[in-house]
Amino acid sequence: MDPAFRQFLIRWPQTLAVGAITLAPLALTVWALWLLAKLAALLGALVIRPLTAWGGSEPGLATTILEILTALIILTVVGTLARGAAGKAVGRAVDDAIGRIPIGRTIYSSAQKLIASFQSPMEKAQKVVLIEFPSEEMKTVGLVTQIFRAADSGEELAAVYVPTTPNPTSGYVEIVPVDRLIWLDWTLNEAVQFVVSAGVTAPEAIKYRTRGRPALDEVGPRPPEEIPPAP
């Protein structure tokens, strides 16, 4: 066997690993954009598919593109209307209509509360924490969605959503005593970036041992760093 070819075979697994690591960010970005495009196409299909079926045409690439464009138009119109009084009135009517559907009411209400919990001001409620998982010496990043008390002991508890890597929209919920949480000074965006990047985009130092809920003046995102004036 040729020595150069043999050397190539020996280094081939390492070369594959380097190639995979190099393309991983691009692949993850493409996958996320593809997922968003699929969701947009699903929304646009509610309008376009009945029209194409009525016209007798077969769905194709042009139909998918039209569905995505239709979804963007729908989201733009809904976002514009939602800012005004008319949009809020329509929103209340939609809430009332869905509230009359037993299963739909549960899902819709839960989704609304989840989104509202993440939209609350960071000055009033810290979101990002570390919880002990799967052991005391190992931690994972979580997002506090609700704080309540135990009915039997009066202990303060927190519902913590634990996102998974690389898809933060998938995860699970754990109920953790508040005094067992390690509260971080990360923003929600920083936590999502940490999870999606598998820990690559992490600060140089984070709290790992200090438990307990911080004081209100300690809660919230870090202030922006001052940029020294150019000489």
Contact status, residue 210 vs residue 139, Cβ threshold 8 Å: no
Which tokens go with 81? 């209307």
Rounded to the nearest integer, the mean pLDDT of the chain is 76
Whether 109 has a pLDDT exceeding 80, the answer reads: no
Residue 154 φ/ψ region, left for φ over 0, alpha for ψ in the -120 to 50 degree band, beta for the rest? left
Whether 100 has a pLDDT exceeding 70, the answer reads: yes
Q: Is the pTM for the entire model greater than 0.75? A: no
Looking at this protein, which amino acid is placed at residue 70?
T
List pLDDT tens digits, range 54-69.
666 666 677 778 878 8
List pLDDT tens digits, range 4-38.
777 777 788 888 887 877 777 777 778 777 877 77
Question: Angle, nearest 10°, between helix axes 102-119 and 85-99?
Answer: 140
Start-to-end CA distance of the chain, whole Å, equals 62
Average pLDDT over residues 144-166: 89
The DSSP code for 180 is G
Those residues whose C-beta lies under 8 Å from the C-beta of residue 202, and which sit 6 or more positions away, are: 194
Higher pLDDT, 146 or 104: 146
Output the pLDDT for position 218: 45
Give the CA distances from residue 168 to residues 5, 70, 113, 126, 151, in Å, rounded to whole numbers and listed in that order.
Answer: 43, 27, 18, 19, 31
